[in-house]
Amino acid sequence: MKASSYLIPTAKEDPQDAVVASHKLMMRAGLIRKSAAGLYSYLPMGLRVLRKIEGIVRKEMDKAGALEFQLPILTPSEIWKESGRWDKMGKEMFRLKDRHDNESCLGPTHEESFCVLVKPMVRSYKDLPINVYQIHTKFRDEIRPRFGVIRSREFTMKDAYSFHLDDESLDKTYQTMRKTYRRIFAGMGLSTIPVQADSGNMGGSASEEFMVVSPIGEETLTICPSCHYSGNIEKTPVIAKKNTTKQTFNGNGKLHTPAKKSITEVAEFLNTKEENLLKAVALVADGEYVLVFLEGDRELNENKLKNHLGCNELRPMGPAEMETLGLVPGFIGPGFPKSDSLKIYIDALLDWNFSYITGANEIDHHIAGIQLSAFFQGDGVTKIDLSQAKVGDPCPSCGTGLTAEKGIEVGHIFKLGQKYSKAFDITVLNDKGKATTTTMGCYGIGVNRCMATVIEQCNDDKGIFWPISIAPFTVCLVSIAKNPDDIAKIESIYHSLVKAGIEVLWDDRDLGPGFKFKDSELIGFPIRITLGKGFLEKNEITILNRKSMVEETLPFTTNEDLVTNIQKKILTLEEELEKQVSLAET
């Protein structure tokens, strides 16, 4: 491809609304343009990268035995109501009506659609297992689209769904997909960590996210440096530390704490540790009143509570609602008026017999020396793990102190179980002729999110350096010549590279060499060949490795020699990537 016939709208300055490297560089390198909040158009150079990522995903999914489909983006409301998710998905779902007042939505995911499609196709155990997938557009009406295509409202996703006779078959496919995902991400140059995750609205018995460690990540990973346990902080169980003795606050009775409502304010005022205080969190879960008690230095893990309650919406209780229940905002503690309308939950870390400082259920007052056993034990109160894990907590597998990293989720695999199979009555006859409900798995990859995440990992002060597998072009040929005869000589090199099957962009634009060099480094072609004075006078070429920025000058005698040298450079980069893929598999 000749650059003079291509569209390369690069820019020197970062866009004003971009705050992360991938968003800035995708815009500056001419890969995307913003259409509206959370909506982006892909330009030719960016679309080439996206298609290559899709190609890697498709190749590995096909290799794993999955079958590709393509379903409508518009899905009828009936199937979502049948599964019970029409209301549960919330405002993130784009809902709309056609001219006949039929309700539909733009699919954020396609469990329901694939279930309806596959159900009449599988009748016997001999038809199973089957793994079906598509690479298609999805829509989610994000309340705050951010970070460019990392969190956009329209995005490309690979979603797959497997159907099985039993859990043993499901687990086999789940493990196959786990290895397939490691190959997919390594194949596009991404280093990922599989972490135990919360299944959320998807449901199911188990799930893992594939995370890329990044300071801009919206997820927090808990990692054990000893046994290599890894989990999303939303899922990580909190284990009490063994053989630790807490220092009790020296004092008892009512304490005057004027205008001190927060845990931090009270702890500082009383000169004590936050863990000595009892934190009360008042919430409304799908219209029901809930009160949770935690240690003062802990945060509530809302996902754990939502999963336990099976609720869709969780919000803070308002002042009027608290007043109705006799709760005093900022000063809630054991001893508040009992109410059948209020469910009470105690975090598993709390010690029934420890003397805590709690709210006195009276404005500007707390009480020291309160034991939970005197108020709640044996009173029908539920005690479960509801707190958020934090650095230093014991690993749930080996007990070593956990560390934490920020991460970007690029893929997610689920054991859905029979949630959707039962909703849509997907049954097959087993080998004894008995109707058996199938069990399912689900496997998703954010395709354009992967593209942005690669840039987050592969950039420097000059721009992007693409892994060779997904670069828009493998080679950028920069020519520095004015004479028609010299240009003709360079063009013969270009045609030799193309004939050899090398993806090459020839920058033949009538621009200065500095401008061409900066564009090639910004866009990030893995190899740059410069043909200028050295080429024309000494039969020498200059080859730059974009990632390392190492440049070397090589002599050549024929076009074939030059092509052979370039092929060796390409092979070296491909072998390096393949080593990463092999390592990821293990």
Closest CA to 183 of 56, 55, 54, 53: 56
- pLDDT level of residue 509 (50, 70, 90 thresholds): very high
Q: What is the mean pLDDT of residues 248-264?
A: 88
* pLDDT of 241: 86
* pLDDT of 205: 61
Q: What is the mean pLDDT of residues 22-37?
A: 96
Residue type, 247: Q
Closest CA to 389 of 303, 307, 266, 265: 303
Is the per-residue pLDDT at 421 higher than 90? Answer: yes
Sign of the CA dihedral 285, 291, 296, 298?
negative
pLDDT digits (tens, 9 = 90+) for 530-564: 998 888 888 889 999 999 999 999 888 888 888 99
How many residues are given for the chain? 586
Q: What is the mean pLDDT of residues 54-62?
A: 98
* pLDDT of 202: 47
pLDDT digits (tens, 9 = 90+) for 304-320: 999 899 887 899 999 99
DSSP state of 248: P
> In the chain, what percentage of residues exceed pLDDT 70?
98
The burial class, CB within 10 Å (0-12 / 13-18 / 19+), for 35 is exposed
- pLDDT level of residue 381 (50, 70, 90 thresholds): confident
Q: Which residue has the tokens 């009790």?
A: 248
- When the pLDDT of each residue in the chain is averaged and rounded to a whole number, the result is 92
SS (H, E, C) 28-53: HCCCEEEEECCEEEECHHHHHHHHHH
Q: What is the mean pLDDT of residues 111-137?
A: 97
* pLDDT of 387: 95
- pLDDT level of residue 502 (50, 70, 90 thresholds): very high
Residue type, 122: V
Q: State how beta strands 475-479 and 253-256 pair.
A: unpaired
Distance CA 32, CA 20 (A): 15
Q: Is the pTM of this model over 0.85?
A: yes
- pLDDT level of residue 204 (50, 70, 90 thresholds): low
Domains with residue ranges and CATH for the chain: 31-73+107-219+404-457 (3.30.930.10), 253-384 (3.90.960.10), 465-585 (3.40.50.800)
**H/E run at residue 220:** strand 219-223
Q: Where are the beta strands (DSSP E) in 83-189?
A: 94-97, 103-106, 130-139, 154-164
Closest CA to 539 of 555, 517, 515: 555
The rounded Cα 339 to chain-centroid distance in angstroms is 41
Distance CA 58, CA 105 (A): 26
